[in-house]
Structure 1
Amino acid sequence: MRKIYVIGIGAGDPDHLTLQAAKAIGRTDVFFLLDKGEAKDSMIELRRRLMKAYAKPSRRIAEAADPSRDRAPQDYEGTVADWRHRRSAVTEALISEHLMDGETGSFLVWGDPSLYDSTIAILDEILTRGQTLFEYEVIPGISSVSALAAKHKIGLNRVGQPFQVTTGRRLAEGWPEGVPDVVVMLDAQQAFTAHPEAEIHWGAYVGTPDEILRSGQVSEVADEILKTRAAARAQHGWIMDTYLLRRPD
């Protein structure tokens, strides 16, 4: 039986790699990489650095282009489902062609595989089709949410209070009821600007050499964050940012 690891590699700092993840990388025969284009070369480069540091010399790399998708669709859930289906076909072809019986393959996943990542769902879809068989194991990683809280030296929740992790699209529909603290990811529209009374702890490229951190009351720092975010996106061609939005007591 072929085996696949889904390995969380952290938010961008090579030191985020856990001992469990390093050992799994060392047992891997084939690494699967989905190339997102030149704009995200730095994301691929971190994976290559980790392979060089921890993988065995005989390891192989199997690459394919990541299918594109509309980033501002009218039917968001339908668009994502279609993209995942196309991605699963590319992934299945990689596994079928490059992973031999008895070998171990790995996907090196940015952050933690359980948080806003599609790899687990894609592998499940492949197994459901029943044409390509393997077993897989998930290795947790340090998420951008954990890294953000550490960098700002804050807790994600207040005493006895819940917090919620959501997307910018959901926040734009309204603040979640009964939740004083909201962690927001994937916010292309910067929905935090609708909450000037809140406190924000914002970070982009957290854990990488390009890390940017800002915090304060939204009414006071929103303009700076918007300008900083736009400039960083223009410079790098992509941006990965996360923030904690906290309502006053």
Structure 2
Amino acid sequence: MSFARQMHELVSPIHELAYFADEVDEALMALGLRNTWDAYFAGRAAPLGLAPAEVVHAIFYNFAPGEVARHIPYVWKLTTPQAALAAREQGCTAALRRILGDLADDPSIARAADLATKAAYSAPTVGRPLYAGLRALPAPIEPVARLWHAATLLREHRGDGHIAALVSEGVGGTEAHVLHALWEGMPAEKFGRIHHLPAAQLNAVIDGMRSRGLVDDGGLTDAGRATKARIEDLTDTLAATAYVILSPAEQDQLRTDLAPIGKAALTAVPW
């Protein structure tokens, strides 16, 4: 397994506390937002400033048409990007501290935060709009907050690269969910981000993928599996640019320090 893939498995659960920890929703909802999806879009889109729904939809890529527009720009009538960023960091830091317990004050946290931050601020921003917006923000000083921020930078850097890989294969946002669900052996209609779509809308997406030879009645075709494998391989290759700055010894240290942190964070991520 490549180092970039190993880092993805370690840093993603830390970043994803932003979407599953109660402390985060509470901090964002305290700004006057209506629901958890308001909190999601305000928190994640905040580095983009007051970007309109069309821009956020393009950058996030994988939401069905109209979903972003139900929350952007409405959330900016209730709060500001600056307030949303502060609330998100506050909630994620509190959640990570709760999950880590005594480990939160261990020297390994500060060490991991410093190495992850070194990597997270080193990668190229060209073609990575969400990562670029986040990287324009100063890194927090407090180690737990600094670690969460670095994990988020690394996750969104990888995410922007993943979208580039999807685009290179001609796979759209909803199609990406279908592809991933079937890759994991799950019926598309049961998958988290698309299970709520009207059956006719989802079936139309699947029919389009079938016409291109990516799926059949049994799931992914050989061509579909090959497409998914190419996407994942290219995503890893593009993500690796964030870690070139780390020496082999620093990579080993970061992997070692992140292992118990990522494992603990997984307790709050429902997959």
Is TM (by shorter chain) over 0.5? no
Structure (1 or 2) with the greater strand fraction: 1
TM (normalized to structure 2)?
0.30
TM (normalized to structure 1)?
0.32
Structure (1 or 2) with the greater helix fraction: 2
